[in-house]
Amino acid sequence: MYKLGDNDYVQNRNWNVLVFMCVVLILFGILLVRLFSLQYTHYDENLQRSENNRIRKVVLVAERGYIYDRNGVVLVRNRPSYQVALQAMSLPRSKAERDSVFYRLLRIKDKEGVRLFDSLSLDTAFQRSRWIRNRPITFFEDASPEQVALIEEHSSELPGVVTMIESRREYPYGTLASHVLGYTGEISEDQLKLPEFEGYSQGDRIGQKGLEQGYDLEFRGKNGIKLVEVNASGRELGPVKGVDAQPPVPGLHLISTIDLKLQKAAEDAIPDSARGALVAIDPRNGEILAMVSSPRLDPNIFSLKKRERNKGWAQVALDSLRPLTNRAISGTYTPASVFKLVTAGAGIENGILSESKYYPKACTGGYQYGARYQKCWGTHGNLNVVHAIRLSCDVFFYQAGLEIDMARINEFGRRFGLGEQPLGIDIPGEKGGWLVDSASFNAKNKRLGWRWARGLILNLAIGQGELVTPLQQAVLVGSLATNKGVYRPHLMKELRDDNGTVVRRYEPEIIRPGNMKPETHRILMAAMDSVVNHPGGTGKRGAIPGIRVGAKTGSGEWKKGAKTHAWYAAVAPLDDPQIAVAVIMEAAGGGGAVSGPIARKVMMAYFGKEDEEKK
């Protein structure tokens, strides 16, 4: 016989059992629904995820195109470089296992007992692997074959650690033509935000200066893709069967206009410790034959390991001589007496000067203009325009400038490549110059309170006040000699594919009129000829036996009491111009004495007279 309390107990127990059974049924129902969802509703999606864990997409980086000189000599090539990296998707998920991989890497030592990896680089890579999952994270660059072998020995203990091989740029001639060639470096975050870098990703190496930057898109080629099977440790087992890899398309090779022999001659002539620049150009088509900016730098430092690369970068970036600056295209200087060719050309072209014209005031060492006495560097007597250019007489050009006026002088200069507008060379960093008139002078000096005065023409007529680049000076004398137009200066001759087929050829382009009356041309050429080939000429140290060289010297003032910048601009042969050379040596003294011999060495190499130079 049951008591009332016993019934309550039984009922409560049955109710609890019922609730428990319902909960179990609900959980099983949820589990069945989830299994159904995984097996049927999301089958394709889960299969794809499974395949993604088993199959890895590997990007096959295209080989970067080479750079050659005009005769086919390799100036820039690629070298293989082994990298050790973390493959984030293959790393263990648990912190303990990841830490285990970390400490195993730290324990690896080379044959001399030195740790292969430093903890800081490893820690940084492991931290980055938490949010970067789609690409390898390099933590050791330029590993030697012996170091790679050490990693492979421990591969079974290092899930997620991979060794890769990539191409690094190599510049076999070191500093030679370094500002022309440029260098490559990892793309920055700021660059990735720019529209011109659409399609690039973090970690990509791109051209940062010179031809490497100017033709980066052509050099890059097109990356390929392959699918490989991987095991649970992330090790590659081999290609996926039945799926063909998409091979990379190598970048284009660039045949430059640079002549290696001429480039070597130019760099041998300019000490690396000096500050200066040289441009040698073919005025008939705008091809740059040689370009030097000193001091130079070795672009190979940008292909080294990160620590060595940062050290090398710091040295050049902090160098007070600014070796990163390409003075040939971005250095701006007063043109000095080379500009007298422009003043004279404007005067002859406008009927103001002629071979028979002499100014009433002969050169006695200076010129009185109002209350101002303007000195000349010598005492030259009574001269015509040809003699004034030969002796570089300032007094003659003081008077000529006042009579011709700056509007005519500037117009003539712009015809032949001078002025604010850059010439459009095919590497980045080019600057324009400055031709001074009353409006531009007042605008530039407004904050200083300076105003245009007619007396400024005295300085401007002799090239003390305007600004030019060495490239503009070379283009100026070259186009004055040809009288057939100013061609856009360029460094690319041809682009070829991996089979040697020409994909693109640079077509010469006239960008300025670059012409004058036959009489103007005849007188200017006679004057340039006398600068070099007359015993009293200021540029006689640039003479070459058997070659008719024409030139103009200059000494550019830049700081009171300091040595002048030494200019020498030359062209040869005058009757059939093939090469124009402009040289500037900063704070070096007289142009004829310092820069003339440098230009001569380059021209001797061009005309195959190096042996005569050595005698």
Domain boundaries, the chain: 56-230+245-256, 261-316+330-614
Q: Which of 610, 531, 518 is nearest to 571 (CA)?
A: 531
Residue 332 pLDDT greater than 90, yes or no: yes
> Cα dihedral sign for 31, 33, 37, 40?
positive
263-321 residue pLDDT tens: 999 999 999 889 999 999 999 999 999 999 999 999 988 888 777 787 777 888 777 78
Cα 529 from Cα 540, distance rounded (Å): 10
Chain Cα centroid distance, residue 377: 39
Question: For residue 200, which phi and psi values (nearest 5 degrees)?
Answer: -90, 160
Identify the pLDDT of residue 200: 82
Count the neighbouring beta carbons within 10 Å of the beta carbon of residue 13: 10
Antiparallel, parallel or unpaired: β 253-256 and 67-68: parallel
For the chain, how many residues are written? Answer: 615
Q: Which of 532, 522, 523 is nearest to 552 (CA)?
A: 532
Q: Which of 264, 289, 343 is nearest to 490 (CA)?
A: 289
Q: How many CA atoms lie within 13 Å of 226's alpha carbon, on the beta-carbon side?
A: 16
- For residues 123-142, give the mean pLDDT: 82
Cα 485 from Cα 487, distance rounded (Å): 6
* DSSP code at position 37: I
CATH 3.40.710.10 fits 261-316+330-614, yes or no: yes
The SS3 of residue 180 is helix
The mean pLDDT value of the chain amounts to 89
Identify the pLDDT of residue 1: 46
Identify the pLDDT of residue 9: 66
Q: Which of 597, 44, 505 is nearest to 278 (CA)?
A: 597
187-235 residue pLDDT tens: 888 888 888 888 787 778 899 999 999 999 999 988 888 777 766 555 5
H or E, element range at 450:
none
Cα 138 from Cα 81, distance rounded (Å): 12
21 close to 186: Cβ distance less than 8 angstroms: no
Q: Which of 511, 504, 526 is nearest to 471 (CA)?
A: 511
Question: For residue 504, which phi and psi values (nearest 5 degrees)?
Answer: -150, 140
- For residues 135-145, give the mean pLDDT: 84
Q: Which of 24, 68, 401 is nearest to 215 (CA)?
A: 68
Residue 18 pLDDT greater than 60, yes or no: yes
Domains 56-230+245-256 and 261-316+330-614 share a fold: no
Identify the pLDDT of residue 143: 86
Residue 335 pLDDT greater than 90, yes or no: yes
H or E, element range at 566:
strand 565-572
| Confidence grade of residue 145 (pLDDT, cut at 50, 70, 90) | confident
- For residues 508-519, give the mean pLDDT: 96
Two structure tokens written together for 96: 């303990």
Antiparallel, parallel or unpaired: β 67-68 and 137-143: unpaired
> What percent of the chain stands above pLDDT 90?
59
266 close to 470: Cβ distance less than 8 angstroms: no
The SS3 of residue 512 is strand
Q: What residue has token string 């493959």? A: 87
Encode burial over 430-453: b for 16+ CB neighbours within 10 A, e otherwise: bbbbbbbeeeebeeeeeeeeeebe
- For residues 480-486, give the mean pLDDT: 97
Identify the pLDDT of residue 21: 81
The SS3 of residue 4 is helix
Question: For residue 127, which phi and psi values (nearest 5 degrees)?
Answer: -65, -45
- For residues 319-336, give the mean pLDDT: 92
97-124 residue pLDDT tens: 888 888 888 888 888 888 888 888 888 8
CATH: 1.10.390.10, 3.30.1330.10, 3.90.1310.10, 3.30.420.10. Which one for 56-230+245-256?
3.90.1310.10
> Comparing 35-39, 156-160, 319-323, 536-540, which segment has the lowest mean pLDDT?
35-39
CA dihedral 488, 491, 492, 493 (to 10 degrees): 80
Count the neighbouring beta carbons within 10 Å of the beta carbon of residue 408: 18
- DSSP-assigned states of every residue in 322-369: -TTS-HHHH--B--GGGGHHHHHHHHHHTTS--TT---SS-BSSEEEE
> Comparing 124-138, 225-239, 330-344, 425-439, which segment has the lowest mean pLDDT?
225-239
Q: What is the 3-state secondary structure (H, E, C) of 49-118?
A: HHHHHHEEEEEECCCCCCEECCCCCEEEEEEEEEEEEECHHHCCCCHHHHHHHHHHHHHCECCCCCECCC
376-390 residue pLDDT tens: 999 999 999 999 999
As a whole number of Å, the end-to-end CA separation of the chain is 138
What is the maximum alpha-carbon separation in the chain?
Answer: 152
Q: Which of 392, 345, 423 is nearest to 564 (CA)?
A: 392
Identify the pLDDT of residue 45: 53
Residue 244 pLDDT greater than 80, yes or no: no
* DSSP code at position 547: B
Q: What is the 3-state secondary structure (H, E, C) of 463-496?
A: CCCCEECHHHHHHHHHHHHHCCCEECCECEEEEE
What are the C-alpha distances in Å from 241 to residues 227, 245, 421?
9, 10, 59
| Confidence grade of residue 159 (pLDDT, cut at 50, 70, 90) | confident
Chain Cα centroid distance, residue 469: 17
Contacts of 505 (CB under 8 A, 6+ apart): 493, 494, 495
Cα 533 from Cα 537, distance rounded (Å): 7
| Confidence grade of residue 243 (pLDDT, cut at 50, 70, 90) | confident
571 close to 551: Cβ distance less than 8 angstroms: yes
Identify the pLDDT of residue 395: 97
- Residue with the larger pLDDT of the pair 336 and 158: 336
- Residue with the larger pLDDT of the pair 611 and 415: 415
* DSSP code at position 190: H
- The one-letter amino acid code at 80 reads P
| Confidence grade of residue 6 (pLDDT, cut at 50, 70, 90) | low
CA angle, residues 498, 500, 503, in degrees to nearest 5: 90
